[in-house]
Structure 1
Amino acid sequence: MPISSDGTLSSSLADRELLAAGECIAVVDDHPDITELLGIFLQQHGFVTISAGSAGELWRLFDNSKIALVLLDIVLPDANGVSLLPELRAQQPDTAVVMLTAATSLDTALLCLRHGANDYLTKPVRLDALLNTIRQVLGQRRLALHARQYQHQLEKARQRIERTHRLSISMIGSYLRITDLNTLVQAMLTGITAHEGLGFNRAIALPFSKDRKFLVGRYAIGPISQEEGASIWQDIQRQHLTLDDLLKNLHRSPPGSGDAGLLSRIRGFKIDAGASEHLALRALSERRIFVVRNGQAEYPVPEDLIRLLQEDSFVIAPLFSPERTLGVVIVDNFISHHPITAEQLHALESFLSQASLAIEHCSLYQTVQDKVAELEAVTRELHKNQEMLVNSGRYSAVGHMAAQLAHNIKNPIAAIGGTAQFLKRKVADRDIRKFLDMMVVEVDKLEKILADLSSFGDTIEPVYTTALLAEVARNAGRLCRQDMVERHISLTCDFPEELPAIELDPKLIQQVLVHLLVNAMDAMPGGGEIVMRLAAEGEGQALSLLDRGQGIKDAMLKNVSDPFFTTKTVGTGLGLAFVHKVLADHHGHFVLQGRLDGGAEARIWLPAHSCQT
């Protein structure tokens, strides 16, 4: 409200703007001619007026009218205006009061002001003075109402910030404590749906599948009916569960997150990642929240989402880290049907930003754990191979074979160790650095084992056991996985599930397959695909390794099994000789041949029974 140079409120605002919609001025006097005169005058200046001739009539006017200001005569037939002021202030605190009286006593004026009147005018009233007084009093009233409204908004904002702060502390504590990705996502959904959290009725997470070809329904918290919602709420109240209680006991499954209900409904639901027009994929590509109200949104709303939720008002929010998109979260108020406010959307966006970073951190943590586990598995396997070599008799070409084995494993181990050292310099997180230190230690162990292997050789006799040839082949593939990734080579396994176990030495056959896989990789310097195909054949099983490499000339095929024959710049040529010897000891055989469409096929055959003599 503008202020004039003399300190009074300016009347530059239109008089009608001093009253909110539906508000009016009440003229209360026991003389009808006065109420009529003042009413006409005020209406000419844009004010809406009503009139009363007594205190009783005034109270009845409050029942049906929004009275912003009362022009109140002190002397009324049924009450004294001054004694009426305290009751007016108590019951109608937002209504301003200007007293009108024929008395000119200063004591009377002060008495009115002490009892809550906003101003005081003596009769006969000058109309211009009345108008200025009304404008000033209504302007002051409007400023007071706005101040109260702003104070209320500030209090709500303070409460919201305090609640968000408490939620952040609880969630950060959980994120730092949880290392399992499934549990962490469950914690995120709990924070979204808890009363102390964001307070949504339901939350669903659709992360990407491992091959990132689909968004898949995997996590959910919330009811599918009013009855289930009431039951969940009663359980929480009965157990006096707080948000911290729910987060600390995620292993018990929060209420509404069991295998029945919403979770069972979303399992099996998926969205093709190539469907870029789908609203969920738009949320990811544009990295922003979409609000669906009554089945309508900025873009067409897919029917599959409405069928899944059985609700036509919901929010789709993206989960993403700085490096990649992680999936989407869908929230709604299926039970309460409360509208989702802009404040809730801002809180959800901030909450999911924090959650996305926690998910990415957890994924990195699990990746490091997986790498450590792989290194430990390789270490154990090398220990077994070392024991096999030590416990067997001397092999005539042991030095050459050990050198070949060391050559085949040295580069992947060096790459793993170098990568671990590089990551230690880049990563600040102490937990991750601890696992990287473990990786470096494991690499050192491997290098020592390789050094020991180079000093031993064996005349190896098979130690037969019953095993699945498919599983032995998979283990060989795992040992070569890192080398394949670095060389941009993929491995495809075509293994029928119905093939039975056969008698073989898993360690020796695994070594054979590793030799063949390394040869196939060496034949494809530009990358490509290796296919391992297993089938029943005669009294045993045949395993073929097919590559798209350089192939081998027919003239060389008869020499490939000779010791020290090789077509490589580096190598001893003992690899295929070792393969032949192991298969001969197993009463099997080995064939290497070129393919008409390019590349080569290495094929081994093993009998179902060892034929031990």
Structure 2
Amino acid sequence: MTYLERLNNAFERLKQARSADDLYRQAVLAAQQQLGFDRAGIFLYDRSANQIVGTWGNDANGQLRDERDYRAPMEKHLIVQASDPHIRLTEDAPLKELGQTVGTGWHLQAAIFSGEELHGWLFVDNLIHHQPITDEQFHVIQSFSNALGQLIIHSQIEDTLIDALDSLVSHENQTLSALDRVSQLEAQIAGSRRLVQLAERLSGLVPMSARAVGNLVNFVSLLSSTQFADSDQALLASAQKSANQLSRIYRYFDQKVHEATENDIQTLEASVVQHYWQNQFNPLFRTTPHELEIHTNTPEDDIALPLILLTQLVKELLTNALCHGLEKSTGGRACVTLEQSDRLLCVHVEDSGIGLEPDQYEEVLKLFVTSKPNEYLGTGLNVTQHYTERWLNGQLELSESPLGGLRCTIRIPRPDN
């Protein structure tokens, strides 16, 4: 039987799969029985946990085995970009059984992609008979893995659609209501968003807190002309004029944010806020390898909150996490959690990045402090702290996150109390 005939028989077997899980099982059997490889296994990539997840595979004797309970940390050599070759052949490689080495031989790893997204891998090896791989076998597994990848994606989509339809049947009214409310919110804040965008642009230029601006103006005002030589009088006059202009610019900026948010108290279900924040923050992560999670502990409870300003502050903290905490990570996580108690509304923004040293927690809240070497402008956390305190009468607290990086917590009094 030619390899082309074997490949055709393998595809016919895959067509009979009834679900994604059954497809994984049939693919392992096809790699053995139709294509003639010693062992095969299919593993998926759980991006949220950065783990390898088992499906079906062969044990050291070539017997089919259910490996759906197997999980392992993601290994660097498995990371493949869409632009990289999807198939890697390694000679004299350690051959493993559920993470434990059981022999050596050739090992072939074929990455499974959907567009730019890595879904998992097909592995085959020659542990049992130790026969060398031929060029024909390499091309066969290349064609097989490419077709298998497409079938897996289609099967997963079908399973997801079935689950989604089942979920919609049981939660249709709640889901449609949340999505409709999100659309209403986005339309409602369209006008105010222009002012917030102006504030965002200005925040990169004049992010000083009222205390910092006041200290600067007070310092300049205390300078006396008698302290300066005649040749420096023009310099003093210029400094006084610049300080006054900076003070006016800052008050103008502050007022614009206030105008955009002074009547911004919304009472919404927590699930609606969760949907809205997903729409607002997901674009920040589309061009990064990182994952964003948004949680609420009580999705059905009503929450009164200053939606526009709080959204901007959370966005600022997420941007800070991407630029500082997760910048050097190849697959990190950022989590936003919304919760409320009897008196307080809390938003936690945390990441799995590099975090801070114990002596940095107070320092980074100061104006123009940054964790990046050779950079002297740091403003994000200072701005967030300022608006949390001034406009929301709350606090910004920094601590170590259980994810390993930094946790920023905004605590404000509940507006409905």
TM-score by length of 2: 0.44
Q: Relative contact order (C-alpha < 8 Å, sep 6+): which is higher?
A: 2
- After TM superposition, the score normalised by the length of structure 1 is 0.33
Larger Rg: 1
